[in-house]
Amino acid sequence: MTATPTHLHPPVPVPVDDVVARAQRAFDVLPDLAPAVRAAALDAAAGALAEHADELIAVARDETGLLPARLAGELRRTRVQLGLFARVVEQGTHLDARVDEADPDFALGVPRDDLRRVMLPVGPVLVFAASNFPFAFSVAGGDTASALAAGCPVVVKAHPGHPRLSRRVADLVARALVEAGLPDAVLQLVEGQQTGVEVLRHPGIHAASFTGSVRAGRILTGVAASRPRPIPFFGELGSVNPVVVTADALSEGGDGLLRGYVTSVSGSAGQLCTKPGFLLVPEGSVVDPVIAQAASEVPEHRLLNAAIADGYVARRAAVLATDGVRVVHGGSVRRDDDGQAWVTPTFVAVSLATLRNHSDALLDEAFGPLSIVVEVPARTDLADVVAELFPGNLTSTVHRGAGEIGPHLDRLARVMARTSGRVLFRGWPTGVAVTPAMHHAGPWPATTTDATSVGTAAVGRFLRGVAFQGAPQELVPVPLRDDNPWNVPRSSSPAGESARW
């Protein structure tokens, strides 16, 4: 029932209805602003983050336990992301503007009227912030940046794991956006789980995004779908990101490859949605010593919060208690008086048969620095294994020998492209580039839809097509006007073209 308006710090409770009404008023203004103004506002938001980087990183460190270098990188990524979406707004390709000229001889035998289509913003958007990226998937993160780029005011539901940071970022960024010419309340912050659900149910909200657990994601997907008027719900839920290593790759890449694996699993204490949860190696490979050695060098790291610590402790115990699980490096969990957990990474190994027999216990995502090596018998079809056991992931990776090629890899790559949204042929899935060609989504339960939440295509989640037929110049959206003052790229179908169809 309470919400935190921006520009107020500490938060003052206000009714959800007021928050959404303010977002709707902002929506009456935002889409009409020239792209240059909206792009400059996103740049200004990035600038505000840069100006207060030291202060923000210190607060984030205190609240999340993440290390300063990681937080500095994440803040840089968040700034770059705002800038990237500013360029998206300037370019206008995402508007997919189309003009069909009136055609008296249309192929259907009836005259065709002038028809123009453009992608318009869906309306006010609710963003559920994530715990594990206090900058990049939080108040001013990718969802907010892409929604604002689309022309949608944003209500962020703060993650309880970093409330002070959320308020401070909301304050700084909302102020920067408004000072740059965007309407008041273009970015608002609310707090509390119940408040988040109330906003999600509010008829004035037109789409929502979420990053979190499969359990919470299923519940919120249901809330969005069971509204009298359902809305799109873009959830990123769970992913175990299998990595397949061929015998050639292992014999060529050796220690370096396994050390890379340990680094990717351990970074940010394994609290990344693209952490490699499974490493598939040929049965008989000797990997334990290198993994154990590399893992033993990883310093203790705090998990994000007590709830995540509880979840990790339970998942780790379940994995370790499963028949047939061999401990490669046990790692550690140390709880403190506040319920926080300090951890070092845990690596175990299982046979493919064990993984199949105990798939319920082993295949769920472990959110934290735990990963499972799977020993795959010779002559096993890896494509079949991936299709069977890893059907819905953000990423899949295959490491092969230099020049190794053949039908087995061809099939594997094809299956990986069906079971995940990003297929890697070298490197590791953590460290997601924010670029035009990034795709961050995958079959259920990786995400609830195929729409990416990272990269420029993420703006598409918050747009909807509308066609205007026989419209006077005064009443069409600016990108469809004859004089095209915003210089939006457009495709057109001239009269007579339909004869080609």
Residues between 480 and 499 with contacts to a copy of itself, criterion CB under 8 A: 491, 493, 498
- Tell me which of 198, 273, 365, 375 is the catalytic residue: 273
Judged by CB under 8 A, which of 10, 104, 299, 470 binds a copy of itself? Answer: 470
Within 10 angstroms of residue 229's Cβ, the number of other Cβ atoms is 6
106 binds a copy of itself (CB under 8 A): yes
Q: How far apart are CA 20 and CA 122, in angstroms?
A: 14
The site for a copy of itself, by CB under 8 A, has a size of 82
Are the CB atoms for 301 and 265 separated by under 8 Å? no
- 198: how many CB neighbours lie within 10 A of its CB? 22
Are 138 and 170 in contact by the 8 Å Cβ rule? The answer is no
49 binds a copy of itself (CB under 8 A): no
| C-beta of 119 vs 374, nearer to a copy of itself | 119
319 sits in which H/E element: helix 306-320
23 is written with which tokens? 């977002």
User: What are the φ/ψ torsions at residue 441 (nearest 5 degrees)?
Assistant: -175, 170
Residue placing its CB nearer to a copy of itself in the complex, 88 or 127: 88
Least distance to a copy of itself from the beta carbon of 476, Å? Answer: 8
Which residue matches tokens 């073209």? Answer: 497
Q: Which is nearer to a copy of itself, 134 or 161 (CB)?
A: 134
R_g of the chain, CA atoms, integer Å: 25
Give the one residue of 423, 459, 479, 488 binding a copy of itself; rule: CB under 8 A. Answer: 423
Chain center to CA of 293: 32
Give the nearer residue to a copy of itself in terms of CB position, either 112 or 329. 112
* From 239-247, 275-283, 309-317, 448-456, span contacting a copy of itself (CB under 8 A): 448-456
For a copy of itself, the closer of residues 329 and 440 by Cβ is: 440
Q: Helix 193-201 vs helix 214-225: angle between axes, to the nearest 10 degrees?
A: 30
Strand partners, 169: none
Catalytic residue among 236, 297, 388, 474: 236
Decide if residue 229 touches a copy of itself (CB under 8 A). Answer: yes
The pair of structure tokens assigned to 343 is 């951890």
**CB under 8 A: which stretch of 245-253, 265-273, 320-328, 436-444 binds a copy of itself?**
436-444
Interaction between residue 459 and a copy of itself (CB under 8 A): no
Q: Please list every residue from 51 through 90 that binds a copy of itself, using CB under 8 A.
A: 73, 76-77, 80, 83-84, 86-87
Under rule CB under 8 A, residue 413 binds a copy of itself: yes
Cβ neighbors of 187 (< 8 A, separation 6 or more) are 6, 139, 140, 144, 148, 153, 154, 156, 170, 173, 174, 177
**Residue 452 binds a copy of itself (CB under 8 A):** yes
Rounded CA-CA distance 165/9 in Å is: 11
- In the complex, what is the shortest distance from the CB of residue 210 to a copy of itself, in angstroms, rounded to a whole number? 15
Note whether 104 binds a copy of itself by CB under 8 A.
no
Residue count of the chain:
501
**Cβ contacts of residue 113 below 8 Å, gap of 6+?**
102, 469, 470
φ and ψ at 384, to 5 degrees?
A: -65, -40
392 lies in the site for a copy of itself, by CB under 8 A: yes
Q: Does 379 bind a copy of itself (CB under 8 A)?
A: no
Angle separating helix axes 53-64 and 163-179, nearest 10 degrees: 150
Question: Which residue, 248 or 288, has its beta carbon nearer to a copy of itself?
Answer: 248
Q: Is 273 a catalytic residue?
A: yes
Among 449, 481, 486, 495, binds a copy of itself (CB under 8 A): 449
Residue 248 near a copy of itself by CB under 8 A: no
Neighbours of 337 (CB within 10 A): 5
Q: How far is the CB of 400 from a copy of itself (least distance, A)?
A: 8
401 touching a copy of itself, by CB under 8 A: no
CB of 336 to a copy of itself, least distance (A): 32
Q: Assess 181 for contact with a copy of itself (CB under 8 A).
A: no
Provide, rounded to whole angstroms, the least separation between the CB of residue 444 and a copy of itself. Answer: 4
- Residue owning tokens 């000072």: 179
Please report, as residue ranges, which positions from 195 to 224 form the binding site for a copy of itself (by CB under 8 A).
221
Partners of 103 in beta bridges: 112
| 242 beta partners | 278
Q: Is 116 in the site for a copy of itself (CB under 8 A)?
A: yes
Residues annotated as part of the active site: 236, 273
